[in-house]
Structure 1
Amino acid sequence: MAAQKPLSTEQVACLLVNLFSLLPDDNGNMPEISSGIASQVMFWLDEHYTHKFSLAALAQELDKSKSYVSRRFQMETGESILDYLNTLRLRKACEALLHSEISVREIAQKVGFSEVTYFISAFGKGIGETPLQYRKRHKQ
């Protein structure tokens, strides 16, 4: 049997987030996994992260008000929809950096950032290094 490749830091972080989301909330209740607004928002964002974000379009899709969707997502996850979306986009960018040779500009556009300078700035804040440093350090 071949030895399994160790998980990357990004993969471990994703697994931990998924595990923590299954923990009971402060009331001792299990969070709503399939029917909660957060899971519906996450599913929608996973399908639409490459496009310009519109809270109005998301709320309309869920047949809820914008304020309700924002408030419930924040309550269920502890983060804003935009913070989650940026994290999702950065995770997708990391995957693209490691598994393709396309330019940073193309990756930024592919994952939904309209400005490459904002992408590089967000990447540095979220990941701790520039996209090219990340590619060089993590690609084998």
Structure 2
Amino acid sequence: MSKIRVLCVADFYLPGFKAGGPIRTLANMCEALRSNIEFSIFTRDPGVRINRWVRSPNGLIYYADPKKFNAGHVAKAAKLHSFDVLYLNSFFGYRSSISIYLKQRLVWRNGASVCIAPRGEFSAGALSIKSFKKRTYL
């Protein structure tokens, strides 16, 4: 049986650490599920080799230059690795979630399922920050 292929898009990933919990959660998920799931992670450059796929023990990682961390570049990078699930590590992040979700639904239409991890973005405190923008989007 072949592994499920998941493309994760996240603002931050290892070796970064300043974003805290979301980095650890994503890394732990990749480690725990790697025997059944093939992960490819598209993330921002944390000061390492950029704009190419790098192999890690838990899957492939693409560290994008900040200017290329967008839906268009995700599409170019993803062409090399087909995927069954698009995992977005945010709900309100424009460059890391909204634009990519819209591109997936309206342009790519590759039949991949979409999983969104809101990371507490729906808590009362989080919704009160920039509430007009968020409520308009919802």
TM-score (ref. length: structure 1)? 0.32
Higher helix share: 1
Higher normalized contact order (CA 8 Å, seq sep 6+, divided by chain length): 2
Query: TM-score of the superposition, structure 2-length normalised?
Result: 0.32
